[in-house]
Amino acid sequence: MNGDVCGKFHIVRSLFPDKLIDGKYYLKEGYADFFTNLKYDTDLDKINAGCLFLFKHLFGNSYLFKEYTKNIKVVEYIMIWLSYMLNLKSHDGINTLNDFYKTYIEGNTDYTKPIIGVEAYKNYKDIIDKNNYLLSMDMSIISKFYDSFMLLCDMSTEIYANVLNCKDYLGKAQEFVKKYDYLNEKYFDFNEKHNITKGSSYNQILSTLSNDYNNLKNICKSRQSINYPSLPTYSQRSVIRSILIPFIFVVTAICLRIAYKVNNKEFKKYIHH
C-alpha cells in the first residue's frame, strides 16, 4: 500500500462519509464529478458507487496495476471499506458480502467489462472472484479492521509523501500497534463463535495489515532512524493456552497418582484388619 492508493480511499471518504448523519448515508456536493454515470437512488446504490470508484481508480487499466496496485492485496482493503459501509445499518436482503456481490457485482457490466492491457485479470469481477475468500466472511467481523486500515492509510499518505514526517506519526504507529494487538487477540473470540481457522480470511487480512505496517516501519528506520514499535508475532492468549493445558494434564496426573496411593494404602490396611 502507498500514498496514492490511500488517496483514492480518502477521496471516497471525503465525498461519502463513513458515518451516518441522522441515521442516513450522505453524499457531499461534488460527488457527481467523481462517481459519474451512476445512480444514487438508494443507500446501496451509493455504496456501490463508492466501491466501483475504488476499483476503477485502483484497477482500471494496466498503468494503474503497474504503478499503484502491484500488490493485489489492495482488494482486501476495498472489501474492508465495503463491509464497514454496509455494516453501518441494516439492508433488506444484504446480510453478507456475497449477497451484495450477487446483487450489484455478478451481473453488472461495470464490473465485467474488460480491463485493457491486463492479462492476469479479465475485469473487476474476476479480481473479486480470485479473492473470493473475503465474500464468505461475516461483515460484522471484517468491518472491525476498518479503523486500523484507515489509521495505516493516514500514516502511509504522509510518510510516502515526505519521509521526514516519520517522527510526527510515532503516536499513530503506537495506536496502530494497539489496535492490531486487539484484533490479534480477538481472533480467539471470533474463532469460538464463527469457527475461524488458521489461514482464514481473518488471518490473511491481519497478515496484509502487518506487512504494510512493517514496510512503513522499515522506511522510517532506514531513512530517519525512527524506531516504530513492533507488532506482536503471536497471541498472548495462545501462549497461555499452550502452557496451561499441558500443566493441567500434569497436575491432574499427579493428583490421580496421589489419590491412587492413598486409596491403595487404606485398602491394604482394611485387608490386614
Residues 47, 141, 78: CA angle, nearest 5 degrees: 40
Q: What are the percentages of helix, strand and coil residues in the chain, rounded to 5? A: 70, 0, 30
List residues bridging with 110 in a β-sheet.
none
Structure-model confidence comparison of residues 209 and 163, the more confident one: 209
| pLDDT tier for residue 160 given thresholds of 50, 70 and 90 | confident
What pTM value is reported for the model?
0.82
Residue 196, pLDDT score: 53
CB-based contact 46:40 (threshold 8 Å): yes
pLDDT on residue 255: 53
pLDDT band at residue 245, thresholds of 50, 70 and 90? very low
* 108-154 per-position pLDDT tens digit: 999 999 999 998 899 999 999 998 888 888 888 889 999 999 999 99
Q: Name which residue leads in pLDDT, 269 or 56.
A: 56
Mean of pLDDT values over 220-231: 92
Q: Across the strands, what pairs with 3?
A: none
- Rounded to a whole number of angstroms, the CA Rg of the chain reads 25
Q: Which of 129-143, 144-158, 223-237, 246-260 has the lowest mean pLDDT?
A: 246-260
CA 238 – CA 191 distance, rounded (Å): 12
- The contacts of residue 184 (CB under 8 Å, 6+ apart) are 206, 231, 232, 235
Contacts of 179 (CB under 8 A, 6+ apart): 147, 148, 151
What is the structure's pLDDT at 71? 74
- pLDDT tops 70 at residue 267: no
- Whether 243 shows a pLDDT value over 50: the answer reads no
Q: Cβ-count burial of 267 within 10 angstroms (0-12 exposed, 13-18 middle, 19+ buried)?
A: exposed
Does the pLDDT of residue 166 top 50, yes or no?
A: yes
Whether the per-residue pLDDT at 37 is higher than 90: the answer is no
- Of all residues in the chain, what percent carry a pLDDT higher than 70? 78
> What is the tens place of the pLDDT at every residue in 59-79?
999 988 887 666 788 999 999
The answer on pLDDT for 83 being more than 60 is yes
